[in-house]
Chains A and B, each alone.
Chain A
């Protein structure tokens, strides 16, 4: 138990799929009068149980809508599961998208502060790291420029530089690696490998079989909200490719 950094037991999650969303009080009242159901429930996750060991990189694959992102959000406490329990040891930081907390009207430096505070880095650390971040993002000339005047590539570099400063026990990554050019992706992989070397756990959601095989120790294939298989990355990817009817390598 103590060697696991994440323990997930029997987690299920339903969402309400509104046909016509009622967002006004009047609509809510009139809806109560004629009692017609205006939403259906969508079972996104069914009885998910798995664990992630300390220092392990755990991959999750699955089609769009198979519940991968929902699972990550549950792991990071953004969503409450309907049933089941989740135990995590140490700090968990989700990177579900780049540029967390960025605001177009703030300068690069202020955005670094913003983003880092949200990612749980203390003010003291940020002040020390600001120069490194700017340098890593290759934005020395633009430190005091407002974000809205950045090109999208610059904004992305800044966002990534901020994100890699986090130092949690568990890192949750959602497709972050899938964006950016080749060079950027290479940087991402280096950061992840370095993270792994320091004995941290990573949960990685990816559509790219190569990434899963290259980076992960174990993987899980989610099929319509249930676990199809957990095991070695190669086995999992084979099963995934079979299901998606992709050619095997």
Chain B
């Protein structure tokens, strides 16, 4: 996206670096700090490496707003956050320190529940009601989509409950992986059924 220079006078400025990594890091950190202080860092994000791949974590000043698997395409997820939450989005790991630490502990088998402020603004209505009840499904156990629909106040809305789980903006932390089909088969998952199996196996072993 660098503009083509309109001239052959580039030699004059060859000494002025186009890519200056030290300056880039220094200025980016300074921008993050200034934006945070000014209250305009609407969405902070970072990535973490886990046994189920690289996860994108994003937080507003209200709390964790999005957890995304690499298969969801992190660039696309960031664009969606820019559209639906705010375009003032910066890579700013400090705000995600607690979620990153708790997820590390979870994947190490040392944490069975998350103690984090959550921002559910990406979910509305019945889907949000479903998600808020998912945390009641204990670590290492499962529930059926029908049971989740009933807990959210509409026992007939089994398909809608499944959609709520499939579109969960906070996977792992809001444990939609613990929701399975009534016949005992595993059901779908945003991160793929292999990831769902991995998470259930992790919880069964811990």
Asked if A pairs with B, the answer is no
A: residues with CB less than 8 A from B are none
